[in-house]
A and B are shown apart, each in its own frame.
Chain A
Amino acid sequence: MLAGDTVLDLGDLHVDFDTDDGVVRAVRGVSYSIKRGQTIGVVGESGSGKSVTHLALLDLLPETATISADVMRLAGRSMLNMSAKERRSVRGNEIAMIFQDPMTALNPFLTVGTQIAEMFRLHHGLRGQRLVDATIQALADVGIPRPERRIEDYPHEFSGGMRQRVMIAMMLAGNPELLIADEPTTALDVTVQAQILDLLAGLQRDRGMSIVLITHDLGVVAGFAHRTLVMYAGRVVEEAETSALFWNPQHPYTRGLLSSIPRLDRGSQKLRQIVGAPPDLSALPQGCPFAPRCDFVEDRCREQEPLLAPRGDGHTAACVVTLPKWEGAV
């Protein structure tokens, strides 16, 4: 296929959860698409719907979730009317997902070899010596020393960073076109974080897959993602090329996130945090959900929730206020 093909196309995705306290509207109309070989960053505070959006894509949400979408296309095929079995054949094979905490996301009762081999057996039908060889090679590819010995080990015998490498090896075994990495480095030390991101970047170069990198840390996205989505209260509030997002943020929430990145050149100066907390998704206020926390709020913000509107060069933002020129994080 040609470079630049769309791997994933998502239009107006909604996810509601039925809970004892009412309906939680966790995702409220998310649309975006990814091209082959592209990396998209998804940032936002805890609870903004980053995970739920992508779990919905893989049909991995609990039964209390109601999912609806106008468009959900994988490499041109619609996933909306696929049977449960067809959806399953997408998982691990075309879209793979790695999770935040490699300690709990790997099965503690099975050796890592067994867990990786399961993927080669399921998606490539490998058996016998070829299966063993492929498993060892997969561990070698993610930089685990002495892989032929380590396939016998259990997850608790690996360090946090090594465990995430195992997870990556396992999920890439199916040769997916799209890898969703849900906060893959949040549970790790800073130095290990950088190594894992380097590993992912290298694997992406070699295999040409697309990556969605979910994080609540804009700093992680900076050197990694071509484009970045900013999510707030179940919606995308800004989307742009990553550099454009950093140099010319068009939503007050994005500006708030940028101001709260720790930076070496600011020394010991206090970080600016966004005051207040995200809204309750089961009782959203009228108007813009960010209004109660916004420095630039106007009366009209409380009347109607603004939609994503183009700002030129593929840059979109959901804010109606004319913001002052961005002078960089202060």
Chain B
Amino acid sequence: MRDVLRFLTLRFLWLLATLWVVFTLSFVLMREVPGGPFLMEQQVDPVIQKQIEAAYDLDKTKWEQYVITLGKTVRGDLGPSFKMRDYTVNEILAEGMPRSVALGTLALLIALVLGIVAGTVSASRRGGFIDRGLMLVATIGIALPNFVIASILILVFVIQLSWLPAAGWGSLRFMILPAFCLGAPFAAYIARLTRTGMLETLTQDYVRTAHAKGLSPWRVVTGHAMKGGLLPVASFLGPAVAGILTGSLVIEKIFAIPGLGTYFVQAALNRDYTLAMGCVLFYTLLVYVMNLLVDISYTILDPRVRLD
């Protein structure tokens, strides 16, 4: 118990350090990139321009801006959006986040379920027709970029069959296609990882022992082989979450989903400093927490591994 507390405290301190580094880097980089939030097409009255810049502290030196923004961020205030002026960044995040999280979670779920089932079936039918078919599909799934998968699926399910809506947000029906496109490449990768892991554990002595006990083949696989066979999948979860995050930038755009990914892309293009910063920090937090969960899940899956 003491170990666990120590581990969590340490990880929390690391998280703070990571967030600070990410904050600083983003702050510097954003302001180094040419262009600014208020360079507009039409000429604006210089007085008004001054007032706007003052409202956003842009008239202060870079150092002053850094300290002020960091101070506010530490208190949880990410400030107003530079572009969507009626909203604070916190409000925009609060609106976009649930959609993106729902989409990402569904995509991850699809990836895990499809990948683990396909990989396990493949491994237990090694070399057979089903195994080869599944692995061929998996290879294609890894090779195709998700926007290509999206185009094909839209053609089939939206235009040809009109089973599903093409874009937008609302009920679960809107989520099916984008979540599938987002999860498909990861499903394919997880299928291959699962197959490799299962093939290795299926030849272990303890699996033979499980057969010798008189267990059914199903019980041998689910009760004895899977835990070891899925360890590689568990360690892939961290990268998978990060990959689904980046993937969602594209997928949200294609399917016109008003999620965090869409806001983030817009913020970057518009030099919306505060909103972009909010998104970056949120993504960092998410990936960090997911990696922490993966480490913890590892100790649950493999009793020989300890937290440290």
Asked whether B211 is an interface residue with its Cβ less than 8 Å from the other chain, the reply is yes
Contact status A174-B214, CB under 8 Å:
yes
Residue in B closest to A118 when the chains form the complex, CB atoms: B213
Main secondary structure of the interface of B (DSSP, over half): helix
Q: How many angstroms from the CA of A184 to the CA of B214 in the assembled complex?
A: 20
Asked whether A207 is an interface residue with its Cβ less than 8 Å from the other chain, the reply is no
Residues of B within 8 A of A92 (CB): 212-214
Q: Which 7 A-B pairs have the closest CB atoms?
A: A92-B214, A91-B214, A104-B205, A109-B227, A107-B206, A92-B213, A154-B303
Asked whether A40 is an interface residue with its Cβ less than 8 Å from the other chain, the reply is no
Residues of A within 8 A of B215 (CB): 88, 118, 122
Residues of A within 8 A of B303 (CB): 108-109, 111, 154, 156
Q: How many angstroms from the CA of A174 to the CA of B223 in the assembled complex?
A: 18
Beyond A88-B214, A123-B214, A174-B214, whether A107 also contacts B209 by CB under 8 A is: yes
Would you list 11 pairs from A and B whose C-beta atoms are within 8 A, ordered by A residue? A88-B214, A91-B213, A96-B212, A97-B212, A99-B205, A105-B206, A107-B209, A109-B302, A110-B227, A119-B213, A122-B214
B interface residues, tally (CB under 8 Å): 20
Residue in B closest to A123 when the chains form the complex, CB atoms: B214
Contact status B223-A108, CB under 8 Å:
no
Give the shortest distance, in Å, between B300 (CB) and chain A (any CB): 10
Asked whether A218 is an interface residue with its Cβ less than 8 Å from the other chain, the reply is no
Asked whether B17 is an interface residue with its Cβ less than 8 Å from the other chain, the reply is no
Asked whether B208 is an interface residue with its Cβ less than 8 Å from the other chain, the reply is yes
Residue numbers of A with Cβ under 8 A of B are 58, 60, 88-93, 96-97, 99, 101, 104-111, 118-119, 122-123, 154, 156, 167, 170-171, 174
Residues of A within 8 A of B205 (CB): 99, 101, 104-105
Give the shortest distance, in Å, between A182 (CB) and chain B (any CB): 10
Interchain CB contact (< 8 A) of A107 among B212, B216, B224: B224
Residues of B within 8 A of A88 (CB): 214-216
For A92, A99, A109, A111, the residue with the greatest tally of chain B CB atoms inside 10 Å of its CB is: A109
Residues of A within 8 A of B223 (CB): 118
Residue in A closest to B301 when the chains form the complex, CB atoms: A109
Give the shortest distance, in Å, between B220 (CB) and chain A (any CB): 10
Q: How many angstroms from the CA of A93 to the CA of B302 in the assembled complex?
A: 29
